[in-house]
Amino acid sequence: MSDFLPGLEGVAATKSAISFIDGEKGLLSYRGYSLETLAENSSFEETTLLLLDGELPSAKELVGFTAKLRKNYRIKYHIREMMHHFPATGHPMDMLQTAVASLGMFYPGTECLTDAEMCEDLNYVRNMTVKIIASMAPLVAMWEHMRAGYDPIEPREDLSVAENLLYMFSGQEPDPLLARIMDVCLILHAEHTLNASTFSALVSGSTLATPYSVISGAIGTLSGPLHGGANSRVVDMLKEIGSAANAEKWVDNALANKEVIWGMGHREYKVKDPRATILHKLVTELIEDRGSSLDTTFETAMKVEEICADRLGHKGVYANVDFYSGILYAEMGIPADQFTALFAVARSAGWLAHWREQISNNRIYRPTQIYVGEDERDYVPLAERG
């Protein structure tokens, strides 16, 4: 009989060359490049190519890829009209999952997904990847206006993914510092080994489902509060605390009552999440740039982190990526219920890299189970049952 490990914890389900985590040291790397290096020097577009191809692109390759992305920002009017019929109260993640799934009807492409062994058509893989990644941010920004009863703002092909995302949200020229912070946030969320949504993408991809179905399924998995929804809850928590002066009492009460402190702890890390460290630095940079005009939420957050490190550090519980990302998004004017959708925009790069890796040497997932039900029984006719 096979061993049963709830949640498949510690079970190696695949081999991958895409990213690596050392939770004891707080290290995360993409294709061998440290996250700190990429956040400091790269862009979301370049990082996406690195994840997909395994190497940093040449200048010509990056220019070509960026141009293709920008030419695909626009969404066909059929999809826009479909979105007009969605209820205004619909959650952005439900919208995004539905819209991405519908892309397969308007941008068909199933070639390459007919061979049970592997898919080696790199043009097909690249075209599908460009279409999906280019569409994600515009769909999220479009919904912000459409659910309020307004027409969406048209994308601009002269802007990067991060810049265009902010522009389509506000209709204003993106603030350079906030655009850079958004670009770093996209890099930080782009990939994180075999998490729940990435595993969902692998399972779907192993059936040779279309990439639209693969990404739609991954979005659904990410929407769960135990995976992608924590950053909005951090913002709600900090608003509840109110100020840095209230932080210590609030944290101690939460710990005494065994309540969740959102944004603290991660299954993979025994030290501070390296993504949280980078975001913390961005918060500091933003404070230095904006000074007292910033919301007091930043001050409250840093005090909560300080107290939690004191109370929980010996257990290996420190701030994770969700702790500061939501605060930064809020400073950009993005509503809290859109935070997880932004997570999906970034993670689409990692999902598609894993999809490509899966179909290049495919074997359908079919894990086993341990049966704990009844032994074989005789059927009792309905009239004879008590």
Q: Which residues touch 140 (CB under 8 Å, ≥6 apart)?
A: 92, 96, 165, 338, 341, 342, 344, 345
Which letter does DSSP use for residue 2 in this model?
-
Yes or no: say if 377 and 134 are a contact pair by the CB < 8 Å rule: no
The SS3 assignment for 57 reads coil
Among residues 266, 273, 280, 354, the one annotated as catalytic is 266
The question of whether 145 is a catalytic residue gets the answer: no
Among residues 189, 273, 280, 322, the one annotated as catalytic is 322
Beta strands in the chain, from DSSP E residues, in sequence order? 19-22, 27-30, 33-34
Yes or no: say if 218 and 198 are a contact pair by the CB < 8 Å rule: yes
Tell which phi-psi region holds residue 208, choosing left (phi > 0), alpha (psi between -120 and 50) or beta. Answer: left
Q: Residue 264 forms beta bridges with which residues?
A: 319
The crossing angle, in degrees rounded to 10, of helices 122-146 and 59-71 is 50
Q: What whole-number distance in Å separates Cα of residue 248 and Cα of residue 10?
A: 35
Phi, psi (deg, nearest 5) at residue 304: -60, -45
The question of whether 266 is a catalytic residue gets the answer: yes
Yes or no: say if 113 and 329 are a contact pair by the CB < 8 Å rule: no
Pick from 236, 213, 234: nearest CA to 276: 234
Give the residue numbers marked as catalytic: 266, 322
